[in-house]
C-alpha cells in the first residue's frame, strides 16, 4: 500500500471513529450553541495536549459530513518559545491535522517576555497570533478546547482571589472583544469533562502530550491536591447551569453599562462616574481600558477603585497592559492609548 493510501486509510479510521463517538454529538451541539454554522470557517487552536487534540478530531469528524475537503477548518499551533519540548508538541498537532487532510495548518512562534505574570502574557501572545491567523485564512472565529474542568477551576481560583463577576464568567461559550484586538473565541466543549476527552483519544489510539506548565502556579496546585481536585471535579459536574445564568446577568449588566458610557467612549465625566452604582464601577473601568485597546490587571483595578472611593481629586494615572493608561482626576475618568 502506498503512503497516500496508508494516510487515507488512517484518515478514514479516525474520522469514522470520532463521528460515531457520543462526544461528536455533544461537540456538534456546542458548536451550534456558539452559532458556528456548517459553512463557517473556523480556526482551531491546537496545542498537542489532550483537550485540543480531541477538539481537532471531533470538529473534523463533524465538518467532514458536509465538507469532505475540510476546507472550512484551519489549525493553528503556537510555540511560545518557553520550553524546548513545545516544538514536538506543535509538530504532533500539525501531524494530526495533516493526517486528517487539513491543508490550512501551521505553527507560529511568538516571543513572550519572562517574569511577572508569564501565563497572562503567553495567553495574550497566543490570542494575538490567533487573531492574525484567523484574519489571514478568513476565519470567522477561533475555537478553543476549554472544558467543564477548566471552568470549575477558574471559578474556584476566582473565588479565592476575590475577582469580579466578569472574570468568573470569562470562560463563556462565545467571547467577543468589541475593540477587535482579539478574535471571537468559541468554546464548544464547556459541558465535557477532561477525562472524557482523554478516554476518547485513547479509544482512537491517538497520542497527546501534556504541557508540564499546566501543573505550575495556582491551577497546577489545584490539580495536584487530591482534595481540591476532587472538589473541582464535583463543581465541574454541576456548575455549568449556574455559570451560564451568571453570564447572562453579566451580559445584562454590560448592556446597562454600554447605555451609560455610550457606543465607543473611552472617557466618562467624573461626576457621572461617581453616580454609577458600585456594582458598575469596576466594569466601567475595565470597559474604558478595553475600548482603548488595553487590559487592566486586577491589582491595578483595585488601586483605581480605592482612589475613587477615597474621593481623591488629585490626578492619578494607572498603567495598563497594551500600552494604555487610565487617568482619574476631578474632571473625568479616561483611558488613552500610548501607541
Kindly tell me if the per-residue pLDDT of 30 is higher than 80.
Answer: yes
105-109 and 73-79 strand pairing? parallel
Question: Does 251 map to a domain?
Answer: no
Assigned domain for 254 exists: no
Pair (196, 327) in one structural domain: no
155 and 281, same domain (yes or no): no
Over residues 116-137, mean pLDDT: 85
At residue 4, does pLDDT exceed 90?
no
pLDDT the model gives residue 178: 58
Q: Which of 162, 225, 185, 214 is nearest to 45 (CA)?
A: 185
Which structural domain range is residue 277 located in?
Answer: 262-337
Per-residue model confidence (pLDDT) at position 3: 52
pLDDT for the residue numbered 309: 86
- Do residues 191 and 158 share a domain? yes
Q: Are residues 69 and 209 in the same domain?
A: yes
- Structural domain includes residue 257: no
* All cell numbers assigned to 55: 477538539
Residues 143, 152: Cα–Cα separation, whole Å:
19
Domain match, 156 and 210 both: yes
Task: Spell out a b/e string for 85-116, using b for 16 or more CB atoms within 10 Å of the CB, else e.
Answer: ebeebbebbbebbeebbbebbebbebebeeee
Kindly report the CATH number assigned to the domain that includes residue 142: 3.40.50.620
Q: How far is CA 162 from CA 222, 235, 323, in A?
A: 17, 18, 26
Whether residue 320 is found in the same domain as residue 184:
no
Residue 1 pLDDT exceeds 60: no
Domain count, the chain: 2
- Mean pLDDT score across all residues of the chain: 86
- Do 70 and 217 belong to one domain? yes
Residues 155 and 292 grouped into a single domain: no
Q: pLDDT per residue over 199-242, tens digit each?
A: 999 999 999 988 666 655 566 666 767 777 777 777 776 777 77
- Give residue-wise pLDDT tens across range 284-319: 998 899 899 888 887 899 899 998 888 767 899 999
- With a pLDDT cut of 90, the percent of the chain lying above it is 50
My answer on whether 87 and 223 are in the same domain is yes
Give the per-residue pLDDT at 174.
86
Amino acid at each position: 500500500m502506498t503512503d497516500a493510501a496508508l494516510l487515507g486509510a488512517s484518515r478514514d479510521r479516525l474520522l469514522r471513529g470520532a463521528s460515531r463517538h457520543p462526544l461528536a454529538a455533544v461537540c456538534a451541539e456546542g458548536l451550534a450553541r456558539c452559532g458556528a454554522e456548517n459553512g463557517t470557517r473556523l480556526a482551531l487552536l491546537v496545542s498537542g495536549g489532550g483537550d485540543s487534540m480531541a477538539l481537532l478530531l471531533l470538529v473534523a469528524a463533524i465538518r467532514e459530513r458536509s465538507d469532505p475537503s475540510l476546507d472550512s477548518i484551519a489549525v493553528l499551533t503556537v510555540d511560545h518559545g518557553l520550553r524546548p519540548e513545545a516544538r514536538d508538541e506543535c509538530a504532533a498537532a500539525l501531524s494530526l491535522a495533516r493526517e486528517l487532510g487539513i491543508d490550512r495548518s501551521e505553527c507560529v512562534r511568538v516571543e513572550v517576555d519572562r517574569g511577572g505574570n508569564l501565563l497572562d502574557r503567553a495567553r495574550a501572545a497566543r490570542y494575538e497570533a490567533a487573531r492574525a491567523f484567523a484574519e489571514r485564512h478568513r476565519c470567522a472565529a477561533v475555537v478553543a478546547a476549554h472544558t467543564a474542568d477548566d471552568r470549575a477551576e477558574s471559578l474556584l481560583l476566582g473565588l479565592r482571589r476575590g475577582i469580579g463577576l466578569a472574570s468568573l464568567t470569562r470562560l463563556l461559550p462565545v467571547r467577543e472583544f468589541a475593540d477587535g484586538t482579539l478574535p471571537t473565541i468559541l468554546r464548544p466543549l464547556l459541558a465535557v469533562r477532561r477525562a472524557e476527552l482523554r478516554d476518547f483519544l485513547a479509544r482512537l489510539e491517538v497520542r497527546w502530550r501534556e504541557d508540564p506548565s499546566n501543573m505550575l502556579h495556582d491551577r497546577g496546585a489545584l490539580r495536584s491536591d487530591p482534595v481540591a481536585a476532587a472538589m473541582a471535579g464535583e463543581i465541574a459536574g454541576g456548575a455549568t447551569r449556574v455559570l451560564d445564568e451568571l453570564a447572562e446577568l453579566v451580559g445584562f449588566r454590560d448592556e446597562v453599562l454600554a447605555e451609560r458610557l455610550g457606543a465607543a467612549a473611552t472617557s466618562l465625566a467624573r461626576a457621572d462616574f461617581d453616580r454609577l452604582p458600585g456594582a458598575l464601577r469596576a466594569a466601567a473601568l475595565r470597559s474604558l481600558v478595553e475600548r482603548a485597546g488595553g487590559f487592566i490587571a486586577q491589582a491595578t483595578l483595585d488601586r483605581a477603585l480605592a482612589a475613587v472611593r477615597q474621593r481623591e481629586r488629585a490626578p492619578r494615572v494607572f498603567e495598563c497592559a497594551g500600552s494604555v493608561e487610565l487617568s482619574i482626576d476631578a474632571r473625568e475618568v479616561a483611558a488613552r492609548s500610548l501607541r
